[in-house]
Amino acid sequence: MRFFSKILLSFLLLSFSIGHCQQKTRLSVKVDSINPILKVNQIILFTNSSQKPLSQIVLNDWNESYSNRKTNLGKRLSDEYVRSFHLSREKERGKTTINSVSINETTSVWERKKEQIDLITIKLEKRLLPGESINIELEYNLKIPEDKFTRYGYNKGNFYLKDSFLNIARLDEKGNFVEYSNENIDDATNEIIEFIAAEFILPKSYSITTNLNQKSEEITTQKTITFEGSNLTDYTFAIEKRNTFESFTNETMLIETNLKVNKVTEVQKAIVIDKVVKFIEVYLGSSQNKKIMVSQIDYDRNPLYGLNQLPSFLSPFPNSFLYELEFLKAYSNNYLKQNLKIDYRKDHYIIDAIQTYILIEYINEFYPDLDLIGNIGKIKLLKGFQLSKAKFNKQYEIVYLLTARRNLDQSLDESKENLIKFNERISGKYKAGLSFQYLNKYLGENIVPNSFKEFTQLNGNSKTTLSQFEGILQKNSKRNINWFFENIVRSKTSVDYGFGELEKLNDSIKISIINKGNRDVPITLSGFKKRKLVFEKWLPNIKHDSVLVFPKNELDKLIINNSNDLPEINNRNNLKSLKGIFSLNRPLKFTLLKDIENRNYSQIFYYPEIGYNVYDGAILSFKFNNRSLIEKPFSIDLGPSFSTRTSSLTGDGSVSYTQQRPNSKLYQIRYSLGGAYFHYVQNAAYLRFTPLISFRFRDLDLRKNFRQTLTFRQVVVNKEPNPLKKIETTPLNYSVFDTRYGIGDNETARSYGLSTNVQLSSKFGKFIIEGGYSKLFESNYQIGVRVYAGTFLYKKTDTEYFNFGLDRPKDYLFDYNFYGRSETSGLFSQQIIIAEGGFKSKFVNPYANEWLTSINVTSSVWKSIQLYGDAGLYKNKGFDPKFVYDSGVQLNLVPGYFELFFPVYSSNGFELGERNYQEKIRFVVTLSPRTLISLFTRKWF
């Protein structure tokens, strides 16, 4: 190591120019072709470019973040329900083994930060003064993780190395090292690498592709390749057994890419690449580095989400266009990462804004008439849909509203590690691009793209900050734009303007504009007469409600934000008809299935639906609701239906209003009124009527999964008498006040929930507490525990109808979706919903009229096979408490949605050997698509 260090140090001193620099580094890497291990010798020449002395050096060692499941990376993957890392074996994970560290040829003391083990701190014997330099020598081994966790890493002998080697962390404006752990969000923030030289020693069959320039290649019994680069903040190496990259060169750039799109010729690729490179040069100027690497992994980690991700035989776009989109997305991102010297975690919105702005402008310039759904929009059946009329760039507004309407919007300047996954990967980027599109329209004269270009060029040789970026925009603007940074960029409240009251005077019209979002920004107001634009003007920042006056009879419609340039959370209140009192502001429009929002109409969507229960048979419904593809505060849902078995009308419906409360722990209040009319036994129906109000609480940190819910509802039930009973013994008409409070938290490794429930009526009162906990261990062993306890506070009736149930709840509130709720034998009596006692075996007289307690335990065996065991005590008046238990095997095909339970042994005896065992098997089946979809959306929100 000493001999190697002295040689390289001499070379460094000769080859590095003397001057003000941050870090210069030389790597010597030996690749193990059998094991995913790299042996590294590294020298870093570091100069203190800050204005204060340094007593320590901080190195980014992000490869170490893969070493165990408790790192910040492991915790984030667990929060996002990525099971592969939590269940990984040690040989699959990565690790950095430091063999030696020395400064100026003297062994140094180093340590890993306790809570951030992917950061290394080296203590300095004497402080490093501003402008002074030191030479850091490192010898270490990198065990590269498998790529299944983040796509970076090792796969079948191939390596994709991104942020794998040690680098000195960035110094901020105050001279402090920024200490960022790897959280799988592509924001490694290093001190500028003024010069890098890398030497790789590897088997002859291997090739290397990188964003550095190759300087030499020597082949003997093995291959030695050297690379160099300058003015970088990171570097990437793809080490492959078989080279998958192609090189494309135009007048200014060398592109290395292995993007894969079927049926695209080399000529088409070359034309696309040249077109994209030149377009970005026009917007941002020439790249400081004349070589950029664009890999399939880069794109897969940050794709264009949408219809272009469909299989090729379903794709609505030509293959060559898909390649163009994919290359544009990946190249623009890598161009910005390679040219901007910003703090990628704190100032990420700069990249998000510039890249999305460019994507929008590229489509505007080359494909202005491109439809959002491409060739699919030409199908005649789709002509009436707003979705088929929307242009391609409409997707940015739609996707942004997906999170904004769910009260999951976050400010653009929120530190990147605090963003929820959907905002970090998609919605936040789109919001940033839309916001700067809006600013550019307001300022005019291409001030925004010109400022992007100026800022990009400023990054040539020095670090830049957010204040410099914003300063350039303010300098170039002829108007004051402080409002933009305060009320758009840094705001956690969405913008929402709408029309208020309209007053008609003798010769004029007076109308108010309401600022519902409490964020004052300029807006456009457009006036129309017989669908022709009469005027469009910018209104100054409206802080409070404002009143405007217009001449009468010159206009018949006013629209706020007509072109949707402002990313507004609600544009349905942006239109005001000035016609007679009988005119509809937004006429009704009925649309089959679903569609995107059309602010010009009050949309009603309708679609057929088939349901089933034993007493109604097939339930043929025609659903009507106003829910577009994006959530709305006010929701109406009506489902008139026809019962094929009784030949009668049935159905259900609800009306609800959701009040979102941004930046509040009480983030949502929901008011609803629902009703249902179906049969609960042959030829007898029930009518259920339920007013409800719920309060939902969460942490202000949206990445935390902890939630609290408080619900109040009144359940009113009216039942027809059971014609199969000569004497009706169950109550037919009753009303129950039900209040519930619950808390819960969940992620991959563990989840828990606790709820309390009080039910009060004239006939009884109940108190119930229920809790659940599940733990997924690193060995893939999983255990789940559920505890239930319920007691009557009072009971003024002798009926068993309201009793607690061991193996099947009475469900007198009609909360559960039983297919045969009154069945006592046959297939549908075997349906189980885990509620109350939660037992899987059936018991004689399984009901309690005083109290019931139970515990349900599940334990994994192999894949979807689990063991279960239940135990409980329950008491009836006049009898001693009775203890019961059961056990068996559970087949967990889709947890909570499709499960089978096979009883083995219980208080009834050895059930497995009894006759008619098939009648003892219980099942869980959920057919609701919305419930199943939640399995996938939880990874994003």
Residue 56: give the domain boundaries: 1-240
Give me the residues of the chain with pLDDT under 50, please: 1-20, 582
Residue 327 lies in a domain: no
Whole-angstrom distance, CA of residue 514 vs CA of residue 586 = 18
Position 913 scores a pLDDT of 84
The neighbour count for residue 126, using CB atoms within 10 Å, is 9
At position 931, the amino acid (one-letter code) is T
Inter-residue contact 230 to 291 (CB < 8 Å): no
In a domain, 745, yes or no: no
Contacts of 825 (CB under 8 A, 6+ apart): 919
Residues 56 and 167 in one domain: yes
508, 502 contact by CB (below 8 A)? no
For residue 711, which of 700, 721, 696 has the smallest C-alpha distance? 696
Rounded distance, CA 860 to CA 730, Å?
41
> Are the beta carbons of 412 and 432 closer than 8 angstroms?
yes
Tell me the residue ranges of DSSP E strands in 119-175: 119-128, 133-143, 153-155, 158-162, 167-168
Distance of CA 737 to the CA centre of its chain: 37
Question: Do 389 and 508 fall into the same domain?
Answer: no
- What residues does 831 pair with on adjacent strands? 923
Cα angle 111-116-117, degrees, rounded to a multiple of 5: 50
Closest to 558 (Cα-Cα) out of 582, 525, 598, 584: 525
How many domains does the chain divide into?
4
What are the tokens at 49? Answer: 């470019």
What was the pLDDT predicted at 545?
Answer: 81
Does residue 528 belong to any structural domain of this protein?
yes
Nearest CA to 547 out of 505, 495, 500 is that of 500
Within a domain: 567: yes
Structure tokens at 113: 């930060």
| Nearest-angstrom CA–CA distance, 897 and 834 | 11
**Which of 714, 884, 857 has its CA nearest to residue 783?**
857
Q: Are residues 479 and 528 in the same domain?
A: no
Q: Looking at the structure, tell me whether residues 512 and 427 fall in a common domain.
A: no
407 occurs within a structural domain: yes
| pLDDT tens column, 632-684 | 999 999 999 999 999 999 999 999 999 999 999 999 999 999 999 999 999 99
Q: Which of 165, 125, 118, 133 is nearest to 50 (CA)?
A: 133
Domain boundary residue, one of 459, 489, 519? 489
d(CA 922, CA 899): 8
Q: Are residues 431 and 564 in the same domain?
A: no
Question: Do 523 and 400 fall within a single domain?
Answer: no
The one-letter amino acid at 623 = K
Three-state SS annotation for 547-586? EEEEECCCCCEEEECCCCCCCECCCCCCEEECCCCCCCCC
* Cβ contact 555:529 at 8 Å: yes
Tokens matching residue 323: 């390649």
Place of tokens 């489902």: 639
Task: Determine what percent of the chain falls in helix, strand and coil, rounding each to the nearest 5.
Answer: 20, 40, 40
Q: Does residue 124 share a domain with residue 197?
A: yes
Residue 20: per-residue pLDDT: 45
Distance in angstroms (rounded) separating the CA atoms of residues 592 and 676: 23
Nearest to 807 by CA among 784, 830, 773, 783: 830
**How many whole angstroms separate alpha carbon 332 and alpha carbon 299?**
11
Q: Say how far apart CA 330 and CA 291 lie, in whole Å.
A: 14
* Structural domain includes residue 605: no
Q: What is the CA radius of gyration of the chain?
A: 33
Instruction: Report the distance separating Cα 831 and Cα 614, nearest Å.
Output: 12
Contact status, residue 556 vs residue 530, Cβ threshold 8 Å: yes
pLDDT of residue 19: 39
Q: Which of 31, 28, 26 is nearest to 240 (CA)?
A: 31
Q: Is the domain of 417 the same as that of 512?
A: no
Which residues are paired to 621 by β-bridges?
Answer: 609, 641
Indicate whether 20 and 111 sit together in one domain.
Answer: yes
Q: Which residues make beta-bridge pairs with 27?
A: 42, 198
Instruction: Report the run of H or E that residue 836 belongs to, with start and end.
Output: none
CA 291 – CA 270 distance, rounded (Å): 15
- Looking at the fold, whether 475 and 535 belong to one and the same domain comes out as no
Quick one: tokens of 75? Answer: 């915790």
Domain's final residue, options 489, 519, 535: 489
935 HSE (CA, 13 A, CB side)? 11
CATH code of the domain in which 121 resides = 2.60.40.1730
Which residues have CB under 8 Å from 445's CB, separation 6+? none
Cβ–Cβ < 8 Å for 87, 77: no
**Residue 146 corresponds to which amino acid?**
E
Q: 51 and 171 in contact (C-beta within 8 Å)?
A: no
Q: Report d(CA 160, CA 236) in Å as an integer.
A: 8
Backbone phi, then psi, for 139, in 5-degree steps? -130, 125
Provide DSSP, 278-327: HHHHHHH---SSSEEEE-HHHHHHS---SGGGS-TTT-SS-HHHHHHHHH
Which CATH number does the domain housing residue 527 bear? Answer: 2.60.40.10
Please check whether residue 758 lies inside any domain of the structure: no
State the pTM of this model: 0.92
Answer yes or no: do 511 and 384 share one domain: no
Relative to beta strand 898-906, strand 909-910 is: antiparallel
pLDDT, tens digit, 9 for 90 and up, residues 695-735 = 999 999 999 999 999 999 999 999 999 998 888 889 999 99
Does residue 183 form part of some domain? Answer: yes
Q: Are 871 and 878 in contact (CB under 8 A)?
A: no
Rounded to whole angstroms, the Cα distance separating 759 from 690 reads 14
SS3 136: strand
Do 77 and 167 share a domain, yes or no? yes
Tell me the C-alpha distance between 578 and 530, whole Å. 11
Among 216, 240, 264, identify where a domain stops: 240
Please answer whether residues 549 and 473 qualify as being in contact, where contact means their C-beta atoms are separated by less than 8 angstroms.
no
Cross-sheet strand order for the sheet of 23-31: 106-107, 95-103, 133-143, 37-47, 23-31, 193-202, 223-232, 213-219
756 token code pair: 């309390």
Instruction: With H, G, I as helix, E, B as strand and everything else as coil, classify residue 888.
Output: strand
Torsion region of 147: left, alpha or beta (phi above 0 gives left; psi -120 to 50 gives alpha): alpha
